[in-house]
Amino acid sequence: MDPQTLSFLGLPALAWIAVLPLCGATINLLLGKRLSKSTVTFIAVGTVAAACVLSGVMVFWGLFQHGVDATGNMSPKALWEGEGITQVAWKWIEVGSFKADLAFHLDSLSAVMILIITFVGTWIHIYSVGYMAQDKGYSRYFGYLNLFTGAMLILVLAASLPVMFIGWEGVGLCSFLLIGFWYENDAYAYAGRKAFVVNRIGDFAFLLGTFLLFWAVKSLDFQDIKSLANGAKYATTAWGPNGSQVWGHERLAAAAGICLFIGACGKSAQLPLYIWLPDAMAGPTPVSALIHAATMVTAGIYMVCRLSFLYSVSTTAMIVISTVGLLTALVAAFIAFAQTDLKKVLAYSTVSQLGFMFVAAGTGHYAAAVFHLGTHAFFKACLFLGAGSVMHGMEHGGSKTPGDITTMGGLKKHMPVTRATFMISCLAIAGIFPFAGFFSKDAILGGAWSVAGAGAPPGWPPFYGYLLWGGLLVAALGTAFYMWRLYFLVFSGNERSEEAKHAHESPPSMLSALVVLAFFAVVIGFLGVPELEALHKIPHAFHALETWLAPSITHVWWVDAGIKPEMGHEPSDVVSIVLMVVALGIGSLGIGLAWMLYGRGPSPTVAKLVEGPLHGAWVASKNKLWVDEFYDATIIRPFKAACKGLFEIVDRFVIDTIAVNGAAFVVSLFGRLARWFQNGQVQRYLVGVVVGAAAVFFVTDCHRHPAVTVTLKNDQLHLHAEPGAGIVGSNAKLHWHLDGVPACDGDKTLPGEPADRDIRRGDATGSSIALCIDDAISHTMTPVTVRVPTEETP
Amino acid sequence: MNDVLFNVGYGHFLVLAAVLFLIGMVGVLLRRNAMIILMSVELMLNAANMTLLTFSRMWGDVGALSAHTFALIVIGVAAAEAAVGLAIVVAVFRGRRSVDVDKLNALRH
């Protein structure tokens, strides 16, 4: 079996990975209401689990096969070390030079993604079985969830930008559907709309970037763009149309890259488009877990990593990405400090962690970005599902505001499993050894350090790496602090409400997912142990991720002169270890601070600080830095006002009044005219006949003048006049008069005879001669002046 | 002036025919009594006959007599038309006690 051509029922195996959940979605959305709950569950969980198994087969079997070239020789490299597997499902668009196949591409990067998506997705599905058991929209929920997974799989498996855009829009749609899942609640429906609209802004920029790339490269296939961007061909050829120099490749890559990155900002919730993500908490909690861990928000990171060959060309785009990432990490961490809603804290935490990933991508450490994406997927999914479990318990305890952490406390007695998994995930996100977050965050911090000073890539300020590193360190401190504040407020101390006392542990389907995800939150980090000299003795599997990702990611900076420096210079062992210790210290410091202030419930110091020196900061954090209010005042209100103006002027006046009512008025006017005419009286109709006949006579001009032709040949004028065919004119007598003054004397022709006369041109006085017409009926003479031609008639 | 009044030519006949035709046409268009309308139609037919004869004379169509033949046919058809028309008018009058054409609108709707 050749993995490159493996297909079932005429559809390639890679397509099946995405199609399986889509099939589940189709069945559940169309027939779900008629199916029993267990059938719905079986279809939903089954299709995603099957996609997971198929992904596993394609990755762990398919990518390890060796390709066969045209001559039948076995390639020495496994598929994952080369170009990966590309399968075309069918031809989609072919217009002129533009060609887009519905093609899927599996290489080491998309392999990581599909494993995360299907694996975490499967566990979120299983968890949802327990969480949504009582909901009346059970089948609709699972239909959407499957659709979400399928769309995300299309996104990551896409072999070209247009196909990626299908998935890109698909996850946008599903986020809208799932965030507004409980649409009876206005606020929830609004949150869904907000997510959709904000994403739309990003999607617009994504499309602009796509168009720009197509304009320059004439193809949107990743491999085509890559072959142009990578290698010698790229270094010497500008990317203008027909090889013109209009856009130097750095500028083009920067423009296209930044446009696409704005799209990523929308999906991956970066400044300034992150505002939808905290509101996305309106959806059911497993959806939040899915959005935050496996789908949607990882799309932007994945896209940037997928296009690493494009970004490696432009330091401008890279600086933009890392700056936006850093600012987002800091701002979101700051806002998370004072939130009192369990899921809101986690949401801002996600925004902040995504900022970390973008810094990693922006400094060229795509592997670190994907690494953090993977570890984050596990511990953040675990955190969200844990939060769901807590809220589930609080609801059963009778709480009406199950997400309010001020009413919790002491839950470790009531929910031991949830608490244990939550703690593991909190340790992971705080970056404590040996949990997953430690390794991935360390890879990002090390990456930021490696572009500082002498390692600065071409065009980067040398200090910028230090700035990124320092900023991330502050964000990491904040992360550890707010996550552990959350943990202590929820699980430690005494119960602060009656409901908390009656909370109880969740059902096994929910707990099983928590345990599995927590297990991976512990061990997954060991896929990316840093490559230190001292650690070379450990098995290679511990550095597996970076090696694995290397073939699908561009590791060098491409600059105009064709210089290809490695991205960042790896710090020495000593520096690495110092960096790790610093990061570990920062994480522990954050946890320690949180324990001091919240270890046994909110301590009096907290109240003192909030009232005293930190009051301003606390209010700002509590109000989310007034970003929503700012957007409302600067964008939404002016936009609404403009819409209202346009509505009044264009819609109400131009379209309604002038176009629609105007047309109706004209029609009714003619109608009234016709009604007067069509009155059934034969005499009214006769008027029409008479008027019509008169018009015909008028137009055809009965009293036609004679036809006159004057030709000039060899200086001889030939005058010819013939009586017209009209009733009167045809019987006229004619006479040519040459004296210049029109007078009708002399011989006339007989009635109806033509008049001919030849003269020398000089004999015509002045420039005109006259024709006299003797009307046979009225016997009056009508002189007609005829112009004499000045040029010879051919 | 004398020339126009007493030197009678084709023009005079044509003008007379046009005047007769106009009178007939106005009668057909404006009168309401079906009888009068029929009479006006007769007037128009005869005006047409007059132009036919005038033009025949103008073109020197003396021997062929085609216009005269035509005029005779028109007179014949006019007689037939008058007979049928009058019969209809009488029939309508019997049914409705009126020959006002404004009231003869049963086919309007």
pLDDT above 80 for A652: yes
pLDDT tens digit sequence for A656-675: 889 999 999 999 999 988 88
Give the mutation candidate from A682, A702, A781 for the B interface (greatest B CB count, under 10 A). Answer: A682
Per-residue pLDDT band at B66 (split at 50, 70, 90): confident
Q: Do A681 and B105 touch (CB under 8 A)?
A: yes
Tokens of A185: 């609640």
The pLDDT value recorded for residue B22 is 93
The pLDDT value recorded for residue A36 is 86
Q: Is the dihedral of CA A425, A428, A432, A435 positive or negative?
A: positive
Give the mutation candidate from B29, B36, B40, B100 for the A interface (greatest A CB count, under 10 A). Answer: B29
Per-residue pLDDT band at B62 (split at 50, 70, 90): low
The pLDDT value recorded for residue A101 is 85
Q: Do A690 and B29 touch (CB under 8 A)?
A: yes
pLDDT above 60 for A363: yes
- Comparing CA positions, the residue from A118, A113, A86 lying closest to residue A6 is A86
Which DSSP helix (H) or strand (E) runs through A716?
strand A716-722
Distance CA A208, CA A202 (A): 10
Which residues in chain B are closer than 8 Å to A776, comparing Cβ atoms? 10, 58
Per-residue pLDDT band at A46 (split at 50, 70, 90): very high
Q: Do A777 and B107 touch (CB under 8 A)?
A: no
User: What's the burial of A730, exposed, middle or buried (CB within 10 Å: 0-12/13-18/19+)?
Assistant: middle
Read off the pLDDT of each residue in A750-762 and give the average, rounded to a whole number: 74
Question: Do residues A543 and A528 touch, judged by C-beta distance below 8 A?
Answer: yes
Q: In which residue are the tokens 């009231």 written?
A: B103
Give the mutation candidate from A681, A691, A730, A733 for the B interface (greatest B CB count, under 10 A). Answer: A681
Question: Do the strands A716-722 and A707-713 form a parallel or antiparallel pair, or are they unpaired?
Answer: antiparallel
Question: Do residues A316 and A259 touch, judged by C-beta distance below 8 A?
Answer: no
Per-residue pLDDT band at A626 (split at 50, 70, 90): confident
Q: Do A777 and B10 touch (CB under 8 A)?
A: yes
Q: At what angle do helices A464-491 and A315-336 cross, to 10 degrees?
A: 30
- A704-787 sits in which CATH class? mainly beta
Read off the pLDDT of each residue in A217-239 and give the average, rounded to a whole number: 63
Tokens of A125: 């599905």
Q: Do B29 and A683 touch (CB under 8 A)?
A: yes
Which residues in chain A are closer than 8 Å to B3, comparing Cβ atoms? 779
Q: Tell me which residue in A681, A682, A777 faces B11 most closely, judged by beta carbons.
A: A777
Per-residue pLDDT band at A237 (split at 50, 70, 90): very low
Distance CA A158, CA A748 (A): 95
Give the residues across from A85 on adjacent strands. Answer: A106
Per-residue pLDDT band at A234 (split at 50, 70, 90): very low
Quote the mean pLDDT of chain B.
85
The pLDDT value recorded for residue A283 is 82
- Segments making up each domain of chain A, as ranges: 314-614, 630-699, 704-787
Which residues in chain B are closer than 8 Å to A727, comparing Cβ atoms? 55
The pLDDT value recorded for residue A325 is 92
Distance CA A95, CA A331 (A): 45
- Concatenating the DSSP letter of every residue in A492-544 gives SS--SSHHHHH--PPPHHHHHHHHHHHHHHHHGGGGG----GGGTTS-GGGGH
Which residues in chain B are closer than 8 Å to A680, comparing Cβ atoms? 105, 107-109
Q: Do A686 and B105 touch (CB under 8 A)?
A: no
Read off the pLDDT of each residue in A453-457 and give the average, rounded to a whole number: 72
Percent of chain B with pLDDT over 70: 85
Which DSSP helix (H) or strand (E) runs through A215?
helix A186-217
Percent of chain A with pLDDT over 70: 86
When mean pLDDT is compared over A19-28, A439-448, A607-616, A702-711, the highest value belongs to A19-28
Question: Do residues A538 and A158 touch, judged by C-beta distance below 8 A?
Answer: no
Give the mutation candidate from B3, B28, B55 for the A interface (greatest A CB count, under 10 A). Answer: B28
pTM of the model: 0.73
Question: Do residues A360 and A275 touch, judged by C-beta distance below 8 A?
Answer: no
The pLDDT value recorded for residue A215 is 79
When mean pLDDT is compared over A607-611, A750-754, B6-10, B66-70, the highest value belongs to B66-70
Q: Count Cα neighbours of A429 within 13 Å in the Cβ-side half-sphere.
A: 37
pLDDT above 90 for A52: yes
Distance CA A145, CA A665 (A): 53
User: What's the burial of A124, exposed, middle or buried (CB within 10 Å: 0-12/13-18/19+)?
Assistant: buried
Q: Which has the minimum average pLDDT: A262-266, A463-467, B48-52?
A: A463-467
Q: Count Cα neighbours of A34 within 13 Å in the Cβ-side half-sphere.
A: 3
Read off the pLDDT of each residue in B78-101 and give the average, rounded to a whole number: 91
**Distance, in angstroms, between A721 CA and closest chain B CA?**
21
- Segments making up each domain of chain B, as ranges: 2-102
Distance CA A522, CA A225 (A): 38
Read off the pLDDT of each residue in A89-114 and give the average, rounded to a whole number: 85
Distance CA A469, CA A478 (A): 14
Per-residue pLDDT band at A226 (split at 50, 70, 90): confident
| Chain B residues near any Cβ of chain A (below 8 Å) | 3, 9-11, 14, 25, 28-30, 55, 58, 101-102, 105, 107-109
- Measured CA to CA in angstroms, residue A685 lies from A515, A681, B18 at distances of 93, 7, 22
- Comparing CA positions, the residue from A652, A777, A685 lying closest to residue A727 is A777
Quote the mean pLDDT of chain A.
81
pLDDT tens digit sequence for A305-330: 988 888 877 788 888 999 999 999 99
- Comparing CA positions, the residue from A146, A384, A425, A421 lying closest to residue A283 is A384
Q: At what angle do helices A138-157 and A297-306 cross, to 10 degrees?
A: 10
Q: Tell me which residue in B29, B55, B108 faces A687 most closely, judged by beta carbons.
A: B29
**Distance, in angstroms, between B72 CA and closest chain A CA?**
23
Q: Which has the minimum average pLDDT: A214-223, A553-562, B88-97?
A: A553-562
Q: Which residue has the higher pLDDT, A563 or A321?
A: A321
Which DSSP helix (H) or strand (E) runs through A762?
none
- Comparing CA positions, the residue from A367, A258, A358 lying closest to residue A313 is A258
Q: Which residue has the higher pLDDT, A291 or A205?
A: A205
Distance CA A404, CA A422 (A): 17
Question: Do residues B10 and B57 touch, judged by C-beta distance below 8 A?
Answer: yes
| CATH number for the domain running over B2-102 | 1.10.287.3510
* Closest Cα in chain B to A730: B59
Read off the pLDDT of each residue in A617-637 and give the average, rounded to a whole number: 83
